[in-house]
Amino acid sequence: MLSYRHAFHAGNHADVLKHLVLLELLDYYNRKDKPWHYIDTHAGGGCYALDSEQADKTAEAVDGVGRLWGREDAPPAVANYLAAVGQFNPHGRLLFYPGSPALAMTRARLQDRLRLFELHPADFESLSRTFAGEQERVQVRRSDGFGALKSLLPPPSRRAVVLIDPPYELKEDYRRVVDTVRDAMRRFPTGTFVVWYPMLARPEARGLPDRLAELGAESWLDVRLAVRKPPRDGLGMFGSGVYVINPPWLLPQRLEAALAWLSARLAVDEGAGFDLEHHIE
């Protein structure tokens, strides 16, 4: 099934959390001169116009990044994220939202490399156009990122952030995430693996963090941000989470300072809140 298009959801509350964490990780990797790889198993279209037909249909960015745009009281991690989004909106109006690969590129140095997988034909074409002038540093492949990831591990640099961010359209996506992370940890034990997941009523979603924890990583972090109460009918995403294997030791401190502020600004009702659990060796 290839019906999912991230353009309908660009800049929503889930993107805010996911991209804030991603930028924190890449900034940490940039503390050393050694090169790194950024690998994205479900890269999407690259960058999204918020006035497009898809984005305008759902207007999810309004209650996501739109609630944060222009704020001058943001804590450091949020301000860092907003500054990165601002690079794609140089005139101050929020017109474009960068996807994960585009944000990663804001952190990539000459020695760093991006490896991007996208199976949807339209999104693959958009992603290829986004990085058309960067063939030396960026490789874009039309491929199933779940299966293709193993061919890149371990990367030559032995330093990598791997984002696993499927649409979860199918129940088997939850199983494939766990299987993919298990295999990746075996091939590349020191890699940083980042799994985004939706907060939904369905049992596969509720159980995913526990299944990831059962993989036995010595260092891990699980952050969840809810913006509303779980719906009574059990339908719809009310928040999202990011599970990080091998996170840097300072990530919990950076996130704790941001989450209370974020949950207050993105709250839809009194069910908004956050959780942060971690164990870092």
**Per-residue pLDDT tens for 179-194?**
999 999 999 999 999 9
1 domain-assigned: no
pLDDT at res. 50: 92
Within-domain flag for 185: yes
pLDDT of residue 2: 44
- Inside any domain, residue 200: yes
Token digits for 22?
């991603």
Q: What is the CATH number of the domain that holds 168?
A: 3.40.50.150
- Picking from 229, 228, 218, 222, the residue whose alpha carbon sits closest to that of residue 281 is 218
Rounded to the nearest 5°, which phi and psi values hold at 122?
Answer: -70, -40
Taking a C-beta distance cutoff of 8 angstroms, is the pair 48, 97 a contact? yes
Low-confidence ranges of the chain (pLDDT < 50): 1-3
- pLDDT reported for residue 232: 86
**Which of 165, 173, 210, 222 is the catalytic position?**
165
DSSP annotation of 88 reads T
Q: Is 269 a catalytic residue?
A: no
Range of the domain at 30: 6-279
Give the per-residue pLDDT at 53.
Answer: 66
Strand partners, 221: 244, 278
pLDDT at 207: 97
Q: Taking a C-beta distance cutoff of 8 angstroms, is the pair 131, 138 a contact?
A: yes
Bond before 154 cis per omega within 30 degrees = yes
Domain count, the chain: 1
Residue 98 DSSP SS3: strand
C-alpha 27/C-alpha 107 separation (Å) is 7
Distance CA 139, CA 167 (A): 21
